[in-house]
Amino acid sequence: MPIFEYGTVKINVDEDGFIENPEDWNEEVAKALASTEDVLDITEDHWKVINYLRDYFKQYGIAPMIRKLCKETGYPLKRIYELFPSGPAKGACKVAGLAKPTGCV
Amino acid sequence: MKNVKIKDISSPVEQLAEIKLEELYPLPPPYDKLEEQPGFKTLSREIRAKFEASLDGVMAVGLKKPESEEEEKRLIESFISGLNKLFSKENNWAFLQPLTLSMEYCARCQTCSQDCPIFIGSGENEIYRPTYRAEILRKLYFKYVKKGSKLYNTFQNGGIELNWKLIARLFELSYRCTLCRRCAQSCPIGVDNGLITHELRKMFSMEMGLSPKELHEKGTVQQLEVGSSTGMNSLVVKDNIEFIDEDMSERTGIKVETKWDVEGADVLLIHNSGEILSWPENPGAFALILDAAGIKWTMSSDLVGYDGVNYGLFYDDVQLARIAMKHLDIAKKLKVKKIVMGECGHESKAMGVIADRIFAGAVPRETAMTIMNDIVFSGKLKFEPERNWFPVTLHDPCNLARSMGVIEPQRKVLRYLAPKFREMEPHGNRNYCCGGGSGFAVMSRYNFSDWRIQVASRMKFEQVLNAFSDENPGPETPKYVCAPCSNCKGAFRDLFDFYGAKAKSGLYYSGLVELIVNAMVDVKEGFIDFEMM
Amino acid sequence: MYLLFIFTYLSVLIFLAVVIYKFVKIASSPVHLRWELYPVPHEKGRASYGGSILEEVDWWTKKREKDHLGELKVMVPEILLLKGVWEHNKELWLGSFPFHFALYLFIGNIALLIVGTLFQITGISPFVFGASSNWATFWSIFRIVIDAIIWIASILGILGAIRLLFTRIVNRKLVLYSTASHYFNIILIGTIYLTALLWRIADSGMVTNLMGYYLGLITFSKEIAINLPVQIPKIGYAHVIISLIFIIYLPFTHMTHFFAKYFTYHSVRWEDTPNAPGSKIAERVGEQLNQKVTWAAPHIGADGNRNWIAIASAAPSKEVKK
């Protein structure tokens, strides 16, 4: 299992860089993971997306629908792509410390 | 290695073949500049030390290298044992006859090669020739299963050396073919190289426990445990559908309400549940259309009942049967008149055709294409086809077109409701696979998606671009690829993202039902909103 | 001569025995899951674009009409003209078509010779054709046809064999996938064509001698056994013996595709029969589901006793992978 190191952060990730144990996540980890996703600075807008994703994940164990994410955060998909260039599933979920989405999604 | 031969599959070289961007089939402009193409990620030294990337430097699965000689020996024995089970009627009655025919009667004429989009897309890289992996299995079959005189066998079929390298490469190689079966159509004798790939994957999974994580652990196993390969349990799916219903009602001005677990319904609708998460307009449009047509329909919230996905079709007969049995039981329990399979090619093929002999006629199944065609021309809905003012082309999912012969219903709808509909060439059951077939669309570990997008989807990308060659090539004109299949949509999404085709060419993809809803007079105008796609 | 007659019967017997054995073996394979491939030509009104009855709403309530003529329309040009190879691989067709067509002509000639011989033996001819002068005319035409086929088929066959050999030698993709037997087979069959042509060139009475050979074969006539050997040139013997060796060899090779093709098309590609409760298929599938599974991967959960039904009804076994 690959280990991801960044500054003082040291976590287990899968081969795509997704966190292996979601409980390892904290804000420092988010910043570290963001560095791999072309997110230079985590802004308020980023946190809004990340916090929504985390709350949903805690409740349901999976990532929310993309439409739901847009609607609940008030950001259109385009804006999400601006915030997380590899998109909601591969980018935002990774930074928020969610497991990689599965199935035909 | 240059000029790769069959026997090289067991060669000790570090990597059998190389993929070079400049050797791939050329793409039309503006995608013809090599320096602008992202290319392939190379695997790190650490990964290569631990896993087998000895085929082409790409890893779909990530097979661990054996740690000791004993382990290697054990794996080779397990492989031989699996080989023999693959040809036994107890373990593989389900495909024994077609497999044996494909093993014994190939004339090695290579007629099939030119029909393989991966082989052509790769610039004719020998290891991707449809007969390359087939011939390896064939030689192993004659040596380890049929046995007989060694001398005569070598004379008739040539020899092969079985070692770990061969097994590791053959395993990866079984994930370099999308099972599209285009090659099988051109075989004069009726040999099916797609089937051979399918059987190879099965042997690896069912005997050696080797399969891609996305298809097995996160796929069929998760689906049977949680209810869906997406990880949605019944609570989440109901919550999501409720959200879709609300969103749909808001956007269309028509109240949409999905019904759950209605006993005795005319139609049990089973979507590929990826639609619900990634393309919610699709299940939303289904609900709206079925209601508008006055059909008594339901969805099931039972475990597996709300996910028509059956990845078992791609790699494992036991998993295939387990999921098919669940679908059958749920339909029986609800006493529905029929199952309608959503816009998903492999679901339709798995439930509609492959599992037909397991269903034994207990619950009839039909594809979404047929029922939608029927509804559109029933006169129950009013349309304004001009609302679909943009150019539209149709992608035929291989499983629907080649394996089921479902070709015309979706075209009839498009000819009526999309005034600027045009075919791509070739189409119908001579179509090219989207490159995401056989589970590829959900597989993206290591550097596999680079390969999938640039090699497996290459011919598709070319034909999509050509289909719109009479239009303004820029992004000002949105161009709609109608792909009535979740897997295909996933492949198009990754393909268009990879090349920036939305920004460069205005390429969009979506399903069939979205076009139907967009053309309905009673629906608020602008249901299809390119800004949101 | 008697030895040659016996050898002929022996070759045909071996040929038939092995072919029948293989045929029965394939035909008695378990019922497999559906794996048809469209276009399926018996789909009435839909075969032209590759459609199927599954395009119909509530298709199970509609009558399935099988268009057998549609199957013939695909099979005849496929078998006689190798249409599939023509469409997908013209380079190969240039050799493969004359090579195969010559074989069909030879087989046709054998049939003509056997029929002619039977006419002669049964003496049915004057009765059928009335006046004996007509009968004589018939015989001369009959001989001319056979003679013409020998010329055409052997020349066509030689050209086909040379071209096919050439393609298999110079085309890299074919070289990579050809084994020793591929070259051997082409040369063997090519030799049959060549010896036929040489025999015809050396012997203007080849047709008469061939008919004598068949007459002898059927009647075991002493007269023929004595006279015939003198009339047939050495090359003629070579032709007959090589042909017989080929007949014995053929069933042990992949060239049995001549009948296996029936199964790849009719039992797989075009086999689209839906299963129905109480049908023969349902019964056979039911039996097959009772077989024990021994696949070894942990998630299967096979213990050597559980059958397909038990395994498919169970959840994936959670035993940890080794």
DSSP codes joined into one string, B302-317: STTTT----THHHH-H
Flag whether pLDDT at A74 surpasses 80. Answer: yes
- Tell me which residue in B239, B243, B486 faces A104 most closely, judged by beta carbons: B486
pLDDT of residue C125: 57
Q: What is the pLDDT of residues C103-130, one digit of tens each?
A: 999 999 999 999 888 887 877 654 444 5
Q: Is the bond preceding residue B426 a cis peptide, omega within 30 degrees?
A: yes
Q: What is the rounded CA–CA span in Å between residue B265 and residue B300?
A: 11
Q: What is the rounded CA–CA span in Å between residue C202 and residue C219?
A: 27
User: B180: which chain C residues are within 8 Å (Cβ-Cβ)?
Assistant: none
C60 with B364: Cβ contact below 8 A: yes
Q: Is the bond preceding residue C39 a cis peptide, omega within 30 degrees?
A: yes
Contact B177, B438 (CB under 8 A): yes
Contact B444, A14 (CB under 8 A): no
Name the average pLDDT for chain B.
96
Q: Name the phi and psi angles at B187, rounded to 5.
A: -75, 120
A103 with B273: Cβ contact below 8 A: yes
pLDDT of residue C122: 77
3-state secondary structure labels for all residues of chain A? CCEEEECCEEEEECCCCCECCHHHCCHHHHHHHHHCCCCCCCCHHHHHHHHHHHHHHHHHCCCCCHHHHHHHHCCCHHHHHHHCCCHHHHHHHHHCCCCCCCCCC
pLDDT of residue C321: 44
**CA distance, residue A93 to nearest chain B CA (Å):** 14
CB pairs under 8 A between B and C: 279
Q: What is the rounded CA–CA span in Å between residue B482 and residue B233?
A: 29
SS3 B298: strand
- The residue type of C147 is D
B190 at interface of C, judged by CB pairs closer than 8 A: yes
Q: Which chains touch A (3 or more CB pairs under 8 A)?
A: B
B156 with C87: Cβ contact below 8 A: no
A76 with B344: Cβ contact below 8 A: no
Flag whether pLDDT at A43 surpasses 70. Answer: yes
Dihedral (CA of C97, C103, C109, C112) sign: negative
Q: Is the bond preceding residue B30 a cis peptide, omega within 30 degrees?
A: yes
SS3 B476: coil
Q: What b/e readout covers B410-446, taking b as 16+ CB neighbours within 10 angstroms?
A: bbbbbebbbbbbbebeebbbbbbbbbbbbbbbbbbbb
Q: What is the rounded CA–CA span in Å between residue C285 and residue C283?
A: 6
B76 Cβ contact partners less than 8 Å away, ≥ 6 residues apart: B162, B163, B164, B167
Among B residues 239-258, those touching chain A with beta carbons less than 8 Å apart = 239-240, 243-244, 247
Q: How confident is the model at residue C154 (pLDDT cuts 50, 70, 90)?
A: very high
C37 with B95: Cβ contact below 8 A: no
- Tell me which residue in B233, B442, B532 faces A103 most closely, judged by beta carbons: B442
B104 with C254: Cβ contact below 8 A: yes
Q: Residue B166, exposed/middle/buried by CB under 10 A (0-12, 13-18, 19+)?
A: buried
SS3 B507: strand
Instruction: Determine whether A70 is an active site residue.
Output: no
pTM for this entry: 0.95
User: B208: which chain C residues are within 8 Å (Cβ-Cβ)?
Assistant: 296-297
Q: How confident is the model at residue C319 (pLDDT cuts 50, 70, 90)?
A: low
Best of B233, B242, B275, B277 to substitute, by most chain A Cβ atoms within 10 angstroms, is: B277
* Span of A62-66, B141-145, B400-404 with lowest mean pLDDT: A62-66
Task: Sketch out chain A's domains with CATH numbers.
Answer: 3-95 (1.10.10.370)
Q: What is the pLDDT of residues B281-308, one digit of tens each?
A: 999 999 999 999 999 999 999 999 999 9
B275 at interface of A, judged by CB pairs closer than 8 A: yes
Best of C96, C264, C313 to substitute, by most chain B Cβ atoms within 10 angstroms, is: C264
C321 at interface of B, judged by CB pairs closer than 8 A: yes
pLDDT of residue A38: 85
Q: What is the rounded CA–CA span in Å between residue C68 and residue C266?
A: 11
pLDDT of residue C225: 86
Q: What is the rounded CA–CA span in Å between residue B107 and residue C301?
A: 39
User: B445: which chain A residues are within 8 Å (Cβ-Cβ)?
Assistant: 14-16
Nearest CA in chain B to A101: B230
- Tell me which residue in C29, C254, C276 faces B361 most closely, judged by beta carbons: C276
Q: What is the rounded CA–CA span in Å between residue A81 and residue A64?
A: 16
pLDDT of residue C127: 46
- The residue type of B57 is G
Which one-letter DSSP state was computed for residue B340? E
Does B have 3 or more CB contacts under 8 Å with C? yes
Q: What is the pLDDT of residues B429-475, one digit of tens each?
A: 999 999 999 999 999 999 999 999 999 999 999 999 999 999 999 99
More confident residue, B198 or B153: B198
Percent over 90 (pLDDT), chain B:
94
Percent over 90 (pLDDT), chain C:
80
* Span of B425-429, B477-481, C224-228 with lowest mean pLDDT: C224-228
Contact B347, B366 (CB under 8 A): no
SS3 C100: helix
Q: What is the rounded CA–CA span in Å between residue B94 and residue A49?
A: 48
- Tell me which residue in B325, B402, B409 faces C55 most closely, judged by beta carbons: B409
Q: What is the rounded CA–CA span in Å between residue B81 and residue B75?
A: 10
SS3 C43: strand
SS3 B64: strand
Helices within B335-367 (DSSP H only): 345-349, 356-359
Nearest CA in chain C to B324: C312
* Span of B124-128, B384-388, C180-184, C213-217 with lowest mean pLDDT: C213-217
Tell which CATH architecture fits domain C2-33+89-250.
Up-down Bundle (1.20)
pLDDT of residue B263: 97
Q: How confident is the model at residue C131 (pLDDT cuts 50, 70, 90)?
A: low
User: B280: which chain A residues are within 8 Å (Cβ-Cβ)?
Assistant: 65, 67
- The residue type of B135 is E
C182 at interface of B, judged by CB pairs closer than 8 A: yes
pLDDT of residue B345: 97
B446 at interface of A, judged by CB pairs closer than 8 A: yes
Q: What is the rounded CA–CA span in Å between residue A21 and residue C69?
A: 64
Contact B443, B60 (CB under 8 A): yes
Q: What is the pLDDT of residues C73-84, one digit of tens each?
A: 999 999 999 999
User: B190: which chain C residues are within 8 Å (Cβ-Cβ)?
Assistant: 261, 263-265, 268-269
User: B405: which chain C residues are within 8 Å (Cβ-Cβ)?
Assistant: 36, 38-40, 43, 46, 50-55
**CA distance, residue B388 to nearest chain A CA (Å):** 23
Q: What b/e readout covers C87-114, taking b as 16+ CB neighbours within 10 angstroms?
A: ebbeebbbbbbbbbbbbebbeebeeebe
Q: What is the rounded CA–CA span in Å between residue C67 and residue B152?
A: 43
Best of C21, C23, C28, C38 to substitute, by most chain B Cβ atoms within 10 angstroms, is: C38
**CA distance, residue A76 to nearest chain B CA (Å):** 7
Flag whether pLDDT at C322 surpasses 80. Answer: no
- Tell me which residue in B47, B62, B487 faces A104 most closely, judged by beta carbons: B487
A102 with B230: Cβ contact below 8 A: yes
3-state secondary structure labels for all residues of B372-415? HHHHHCCCCCCECHHHCCCCEEECCCHHHHHHHCCCHHHHHHHH
B306 Cβ contact partners less than 8 Å away, ≥ 6 residues apart: B227, B228, B232, B234, B237, B270, B271, B273, B299, B300
Nearest CA in chain C to B85: C295
Q: Which chains touch C (3 or more CB pairs under 8 A)?
A: B
Among A residues 28-47, those touching chain B with beta carbons less than 8 Å apart = none
Q: Which of A1, A3, A40, A104 is catalytic?
A: A104
Q: What is the pLDDT of residues B4-60, one digit of tens each?
A: 999 999 999 999 999 999 999 999 999 999 988 889 999 999 999 999 999 999 999
Characterize the bridge pairing of strands B267-270 and B338-341.
parallel
More confident residue, B182 or B361: B182
Flag whether pLDDT at A55 surpasses 90. Answer: yes
How far, CA to CA in Å, does B461 sit from each of B130, B475, B510? 21, 16, 15
- Tell me which residue in B223, B231, B531 faces A61 most closely, judged by beta carbons: B231
Complex-level ipTM beyond the 0.85 threshold = yes
Contact B377, B417 (CB under 8 A): no
**Which residue ranges make up each domain of chain C?**
2-33+89-250
Which residues on neighbouring strands pair with residue B299, listed in sequence order? B260
A104 with B309: Cβ contact below 8 A: yes
Place of tokens 């014995």: C248
Best of B88, B111, B160, B354 to substitute, by most chain C Cβ atoms within 10 angstroms, is: B111
pLDDT of residue A14: 86
Please give the average per-residue pLDDT across C286-297, as a whole number: 96
- The residue type of B515 is L
B105 with C92: Cβ contact below 8 A: no
Please give the average per-residue pLDDT across C182-196, as a whole number: 98
Flag whether pLDDT at B496 surpasses 70. Answer: yes
| Order of strands, sheet of B297-298, starting from the edge strand that comes earlier in the sequence | B297-298, B267-270, B338-341, B365-367
B377 at interface of C, judged by CB pairs closer than 8 A: no
User: C274: which chain B residues are within 8 Å (Cβ-Cβ)?
Assistant: 356, 361
C6 at interface of B, judged by CB pairs closer than 8 A: no
